[in-house]
Amino acid sequence: MPKTTHLAERKAMVDICRKMNASGINQGTAGNLSLRIGDKFLITPSSLPYDTMTPEDIVEMAFDGTYVGLRPSSEWRFHRDILKHRTDIDVVLHCHSVYATTLAVHHKTIPSFHYMTGVAGGTTIRCSRYATFGTQALSDAAIEALDGRLACLLGQHGQISLGKSLESALWLATEVETISRLYVQALTLGDPPILPDDEMERVIAQMKRMSYGHGPEPEGSNDVARPRGK
């Protein structure tokens, strides 16, 4: 039996999958996760409950679609294609979080009704057109909806969030779900006002400058506060 490679990364992936379900942003065996490893990637197997999944069950896949181990996620095409197209990220996380999917079943793009829409890198979080799960058509639709963004909704399906790390992808997926929930609730009072593009440009620039949401800001990036004792 060949030795399992990348054990630490596999363990971290199982951990993130379990967190995804424990936090309520995913249910059952829905959702999937991939992580770039050099010129290959690791991806969750198809239809295996996360609470019984072991690090050895994680599938190693090459960009030509060949793999070692269990049957990979039915969504391996969009994981492969996103990782190939987007050299700015190393993690693709897909889940069926309830509020994001509520908007996705109505094919609603999330506008900048709240400044946090900017966490996905633009003035909107787009919703892709519908395509059958597991198909190249869905992968093509996802690539389009993710253009210039770190997250998108998938029409009548769910959401995709990207990250440089497993933790940042989970963080973003949770933010997308929270923004979606706010938007669904805001819509019950009518169409909320939308922040203008020039304000969203400031928000997005500020988020980038501060690495917003990813821990204490790097020194020098806050123009008011100074660390104690300095």
- What residue ranges bind ligand 13P (CB under 6 A)? 29-32, 46-47, 73-75, 94, 133
Catalytic residue among 9, 56, 60, 75: 75
CB of 45 to ligand 13P, least distance (A): 7
CB atoms near residue 2 (< 10 Å): 5
Nearer to ligand 13P, 70 or 210 (CB): 70
Nearer to ligand 13P, 36 or 157 (CB): 157
Residue 200: both structure tokens together: 């969203």
Nearer to ligand 13P, 125 or 131 (CB): 131
Q: Which residues, in sequence order, are bridge partners of residue 109? A: none
Nearer to ligand 13P, 56 or 217 (CB): 56
Q: Which residues, in sequence order, are bridge partners of residue 208? A: none
Task: Specify whether the CB–CB gap between 119 and 212 falls below 8 A.
Answer: yes
Rg (CA), the chain: 18
- Please report which residue ranges of the chain form alpha helices under DSSP H: 7-22, 76-85, 98-105, 136-145, 166-187, 197-210
The DSSP secondary-structure symbol of 41 reads E
CB of 218 to ligand 13P, least distance (A): 36
Q: Report which secondary-structure segment, H or E, holds 199.
A: helix 197-210
The DSSP secondary-structure symbol of 110 reads B
Active-site residue 75, yes or no? yes
CB of 216 to ligand 13P, least distance (A): 34
Nearer to ligand 13P, 123 or 139 (CB): 139
Report the C-alpha gap between 143 and 137 in whole angstroms: 10
CB of 193 to ligand 13P, least distance (A): 34
Got the DSSP string for 10-22? HHHHHHHHHHHHH
- Supply the residues annotated as catalytic: 75
